[in-house]
């Protein structure tokens, strides 16, 4: 049986590595691009290259920022409240919370959650820099806004242990977010309720 030409195979394999894309969708996308106007593939190719080469992580909170900026928009805004840090799993969660318009403090992005099964321990996440930020002394409250999943809860519990030692108030987003659901997919009102109804972790 003749096999597909290598460029087609290569792109299909690349698509398959993306989350939520199985072999069928991967080959459908590849053949779509083969037939589609050149403009569509070049826009995609340029976007992919620029994604990594023009973005960087904020050196303070690890949110996404542009490559020539040390600090993200939120960290460099003097009007934000330094006494509060909201800890989230991913940069998308920052944007979800920002959409509520209710939070005026700072953020810290962990870039994942603790997961012993996947071998992800505290050293793999941006936990140390968080503790360093709190140690500077301006922070009064840390809001743990990891997802309401098993890993999200375990991560919050771990952070609570580390943070209370530093004498800071530790709160957790209120229940009401769908369990196992992602913060980034929660609607604005649910997120707003979870934020305003946040509770002390004991």
> Which stretches of the chain bind Zn ion, using CB under 5 A?
58, 60-61, 63, 72, 75
Query: What's the min distance (Å) between Cβ of 136 and Zn ion?
Result: 15
Closest CA to 197 of 108, 130, 102, 104: 102
User: 3-class DSSP state for residue 125?
Assistant: coil
Among candidates 133, 138, 146, 143, which has minimal Cα distance to 199?
143
8-state DSSP, 175 = B
For Zn ion, the closer of residues 30 and 60 by Cβ is: 60
In 3D space, the residue among 147, 134, 139 whose CA is nearest the CA of residue 184 turns out to be 147
- Cβ 110 to Zn ion, closest distance in Å? 13
Compare residues 59 and 196 and give the one whose CB is closer to Zn ion: 59
Please give the DSSP secondary-structure letter assigned to residue 114: -
What minimum distance in Å lies between the beta carbon of 39 and Zn ion?
Answer: 35
Closest distance of CB 66 from Zn ion, Å: 12
Q: Which is nearer to Zn ion, 75 or 156 (CB)?
A: 75
| Residues 186 and 157 sit within 8 Å (Cβ to Cβ) | no
For residues 28 and 80, which CB has a smaller minimum distance to Zn ion in the complex? 80
């Amino acid at each position: 049986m003749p096999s597909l030409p290598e460029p087609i195979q290569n792109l299909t394999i690349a698509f398959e590595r993306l989350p939520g894309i199985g072999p069928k969708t991967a080959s459908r996308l590849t053949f779509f691009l083969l037939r589609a106007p050149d403009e569509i593939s070049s826009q995609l190719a340029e976007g992919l290259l620029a994604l990594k080469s023009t973005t960087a992580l904020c050196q303070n909170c690890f949110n996404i920022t542009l490559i020539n900026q040390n600090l993200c928009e939120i960290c460099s805004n003097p009007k934000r409240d330094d006494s509060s840090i909201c800890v989230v799993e991913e940069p998308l969660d920052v944007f979800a919370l920002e959409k509520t318009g209710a939070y005026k403090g700072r953020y810290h992005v962990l870039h994942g959650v603790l997961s012993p099964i996947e071998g992800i321990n505290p050293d793999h996440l941006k936990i140390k820099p968080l503790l360093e930020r709190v140690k500077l002394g301006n922070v009064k409250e840390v809001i743990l806004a990891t997802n309401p999943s098993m890993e999200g809860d375990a991560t919050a519990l771990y952070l609570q242990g580390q943070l209370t030692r530093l004498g800071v108030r530790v709160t957790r987003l209120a229940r009401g977010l769908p369990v196992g659901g992602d913060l980034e997919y929660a609607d604005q009102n649910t997120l707003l309720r979870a934020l305003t109804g946040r509770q002390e972790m004991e």
